[in-house]
């Protein structure tokens, strides 16, 4: 039999089902510096996680269950909860292998630790990942709400160490289904009293990041510039109107969905547009000339293959984990004289918008708008300028400076609840959560 990490999610679900395992976990044990697995059969996967040092990075807990009715593989990744409950959205996507599934969850959840800490939110970092599982696509009538209700129950069972939200593959409607089964969620639809789709504020935040990058380089503002966007989904499509309003001369963009491109062409006649439909493996858009490249599709697009071809001087986009190899790719970009705005620094507005949602939601909330204010020192604009200046002074890269700051902040303890997340995890295990 192949190693557990090499199985497809469907094979892994069968492996668990054959052993009557519906829930399992992997938790970091500080004293022994090892990953403890809930079941002896899963110890090889625990060792695999521990060996993924950079991405695992002492995750406090990884929790997985097979959906009772849907058979979907549902996960909650809890990276670090010093600042509060682990918070981050739930992604629904198909993965080739268990390794890809786990790696994506780990990287995204670690990224949330850094994003939340940099934004100054009293939240730790976490992420949810759902793979639809053994050949069942939960888009059929009835199955999709069931999937998200199941996920809500799963989140409730974790007793608040992780608070979920919307992410790629999940809609506001899905969040309503999650909310029907748990209070540990944000991004619920406005009709349920929440903030809804976070993409509009995220796009506004990315624009602030672009403005900071231009100011840092002495290139003025966005007027007359050309912006190249990869991925014209929820965030990328909203960038077009915002950029047009700021006097951007031309937007070049690519997406794999033809109907989206056609719709955007019809909607935006106020700006010069060059939008293309591309194949999934076609990343030629990254090599387009322009002032700013904005990756707004999937992660990992900045890598040893793409970096030598990039022609825009500034890179600033919404996609999470744009650097395929964060230990190397920021240096590669800097060596080419390209200014990379770390994604976890500029794409915070989605999580900021829902951060205080559990305390009620106000349209135009000043506590949210402050993050877009060019005067506030912890807003995206001024914090970006500070990070860029520090990178220049120290000869380091913006990604490393932002990461150092985020790491420091992420270890600050929540002023009221302390490190309650790990206490919750300990109690889950003591109470036989996976039994
Ligand atoms: P989305 O799924 O709505 O949009 C992504 C778009 O990229 C889709 O239209 C998809 O067709 C396109 N795409 C996928 N592969 C592509 C390829 N190879 N070439 C060109 N286009 C491709 O997602 P979104 O909500 O717009 O988010 C975009 C990115 O930003 C994601 O990585 C997401 O995790 C991140 N992000 C989003 C938010 C938010 O508020 N929505 C917040 C923070 C981070």
Instruction: Tell me, using a 6 A CB cutoff, whether residue 232 lines ligand 1.
Output: yes
Question: Could you tell me the distance, in angstroms and rounded to a whole number, from the CA of residue 318 to the centre of ligand 1?
Answer: 8
Domain ranges of the chain: 4-196+424-430, 199-396
Concatenating the DSSP letter of every residue in 251-266 gives EEEEES-HHHHHHHHH
Instruction: Tell me, using a 6 A CB cutoff, whether residue 209 lines ligand 1.
Output: no
Q: What is the pTM assigned to this prediction?
A: 0.95
Residue 143's pLDDT is 83
Which residue CA neighbors atom 24 of ligand 1 most closely? 234
Instruction: Tell me, using a 6 A CB cutoff, whether residue 111 lines ligand 1.
Output: no
For residue 282, give the ligand 1 atom closest to its CA.
Answer: 18
Q: What is the DSSP letter of 318?
A: S
Instruction: Tell me, using a 6 A CB cutoff, whether residue 298 lines ligand 1.
Output: yes
Question: Could you tell me the distance, in angstroms and rounded to a whole number, from the CA of residue 138 to the centre of ligand 1?
Answer: 20
Residue of 127, 159, 225, 263 marked active site: 127
- Are 116 and 102 in contact by the 8 Å Cβ rule? The answer is no
Q: How many residues does the chain have?
A: 435
CA 362 to chain centre: 24
The angle formed by the CA atoms of residues 6, 113 and 122, to the nearest 5 degrees, is: 145
Instruction: Tell me, using a 6 A CB cutoff, whether residue 166 lines ligand 1.
Output: no
Residues 6+ apart with CB under 8 A from 332: 304, 307
Domains 4-196+424-430 and 199-396 share a fold: yes
Clarify whether 127 is annotated catalytic. Answer: yes
Q: Comparing C-alpha atoms, which of 124, 201, 130, 140 is closest to residue 361?
A: 201
Residue 24's pLDDT is 98
Instruction: Tell me, using a 6 A CB cutoff, whether residue 320 lines ligand 1.
Output: yes
Residue 383's pLDDT is 98
- Exposed (0-12), middle (13-18) or buried (19+): which is 298, by Cβ within 10 Å? middle
Residue 136's pLDDT is 57
Count of other CB atoms within 10 angstroms of residue 195: 27
Q: Profile the chain (435 residues) by mean pLDDT over runs of 10 residues.
A: 93 95 95 94 97 94 95 97 98 96 97 98 98 64 86 98 94 94 95 92 98 98 98 97 98 97 96 97 97 96 98 98 95 97 98 90 92 98 98 98 98 97 98 96
According to CATH, what is the number of the domain 4-196+424-430?
3.40.50.10860
- Exposed (0-12), middle (13-18) or buried (19+): which is 359, by Cβ within 10 Å? exposed
Concatenating the DSSP letter of every residue in 33-68 gives TEEEESSGGGHHHHHHHHH-HHHHTT-SEEEEEE-T
Question: Could you tell me the distance, in angstroms and rounded to a whole number, from the CA of residue 155 to the centre of ligand 1?
Answer: 24
Correct CATH for 199-396 of 3.10.20.30, 1.10.10.60, 3.40.50.720, 2.30.38.10: 3.40.50.720
For residue 281, give the ligand 1 atom closest to its CA.
Answer: 18
Phi-psi region of 205 (alpha: psi -120 to 50; beta: other; left: phi over 0): alpha
């Amino acid at each position: 039999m192949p190693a557990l990490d090499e199985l497809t999610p469907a094979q892994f679900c069968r492996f668990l089902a054959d052993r009557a395992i519906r829930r399992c976990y992997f938790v970091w044990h500080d004293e022994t510096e090892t990953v403890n697995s809930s079941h002896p059969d899963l110890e090889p996967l625990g060792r695999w996680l521990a060996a993924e040092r950079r991405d695992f990075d002492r995750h406090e807990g990884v929790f997985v269950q097979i959906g009772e009715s849907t058979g979907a593989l549902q996960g909650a990744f809890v990276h670090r909860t010093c600042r509060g409950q682990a918070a981050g959205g739930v992604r629904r996507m198909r993965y080739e292998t268990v390794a890809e599934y786990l790696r994506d969850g780990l990287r995204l959840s670690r990224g949330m630790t850094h994003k939340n800490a940099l934004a100054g939110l009293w939240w730790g970092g976490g992420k949810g990942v759902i793979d639809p599982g053994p050949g069942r696509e939960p888009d059929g009538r009835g199955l999709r709400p069931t999937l998200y209700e199941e996920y809500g129950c799963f989140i409730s069972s974790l007793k608040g160490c992780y608070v979920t939200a919307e992410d790629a593959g999940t809609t506001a409607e899905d969040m309503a289904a999650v909310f029907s089964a748990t209070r540990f969620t944000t991004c619920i639809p406005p009709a349920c009293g929440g903030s809804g789709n976070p993409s509009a504020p995220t796009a506004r935040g990315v624009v602030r990041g672009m403005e900071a990058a231009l100011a840092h380089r002495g290139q003025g503002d966005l007027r007359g510039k050309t912006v190249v966007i990869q991925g014209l989904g929820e965030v990328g499509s909203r960038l077009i109107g915002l950029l047009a309003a700021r006097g951007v001369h031309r937007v070049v963009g690519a997406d794999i969905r033809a109907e989206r491109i056609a719709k955007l062409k019809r909607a935006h006649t106020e700006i010069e547009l060059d939008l293309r439909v591309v194949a999934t493996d076609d990343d030629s858009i990254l090599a387009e000339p322009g002032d700013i490249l904005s990756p707004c599709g999937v992660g990992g697009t900045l890598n040893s293959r793409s970096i030598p071809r990039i022609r825009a001087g500034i890179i600033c986009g919404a996609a999470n984990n744009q650097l395929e190899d964060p230990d190397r790719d920021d240096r590669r970009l800097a060596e080419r004289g390209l200014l990379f705005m770390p994604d976890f620094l500029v794409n915070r507005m989605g999580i900021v918008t829902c951060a205080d949602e559990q305390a009620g939601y106000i349209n135009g909330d000043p506590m949210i708008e402050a993050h877009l204010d060019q005067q506030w020192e912890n807003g995206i604009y001024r914090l970006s300028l500070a990070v860029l200046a520090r990178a220049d002074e120290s000869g380091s890269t913006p990604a490393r400076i932002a990461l150092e700051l985020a790491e420091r902040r992420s270890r600050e303890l929540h002023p009221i609840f302390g490190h309650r997340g790990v206490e919750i995890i300990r109690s889950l295990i003591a109470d036989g959560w996976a039994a």
